[in-house]
Structure 1
């Protein structure tokens, strides 16, 4: 067992992990942050996306010990200081960018990374950026609308599908 210390959502957190423990499992099982979902364990679905040192990563393919000393933001850290939904989360709610909700944490984390890199992405750029996130419910149309809205753009310009 190895001690892993991270700054998670602005707080220093530590726990013991085996060398093979994935960051997603460490966050969920050791630190109790269950908002990060594990869908495939093969880096295909994107449900486990978190930010590590400011970059979006799939936490199901990263060892916890490799993140030791890093700064992690999970979906739990995305809300505003008063606990209300942040702009991206609110846009997902307002534009029905979720159904079952399983993929939503990863989608929100990926959308946040996209908007940090590109504050006004086009519909095509959003679709391309989110290719690593699988949603089996929504058909992506409303997710893309939500990201457009979160970027301050008019989401109603998208053609209906």
Structure 2
């Protein structure tokens, strides 16, 4: 009986670890913009958002002295109410914002790793689902042999 309980504990622990790995999303952190006729660029890296959203802001202003460019990173509070149309968000998780210039916009996403970078497939999410199915099948089979 103790072996059975230990086995169940191990199974739950592995599923918990897998869930935590799959639950967290990774975002691109990168900034490149022009301000006062100078290029400012921050080295690309990745981050894990505390709010669960990746963010991409496009700074666009007709005044060349103001900030123009792109900023990607982990959201802290810009994505509040992201799915609420009354707050100006569209169905893609984007909205126009004067905070980012006359033609500026911000987009929030959490559907896959690095979703704030264009052209990425959600391979980590597919991997997580596949691995979770394999793990659960394995645990189901080992239950019959214990």
Give the TM-score normalised by structure 1: 0.21
Answer 1 or 2: which has greater strand percent.
Answer: 2
Answer 1 or 2: which has greater helix percent.
Answer: 1
Give the TM-score normalised by structure 2: 0.22
Larger Rg: 2
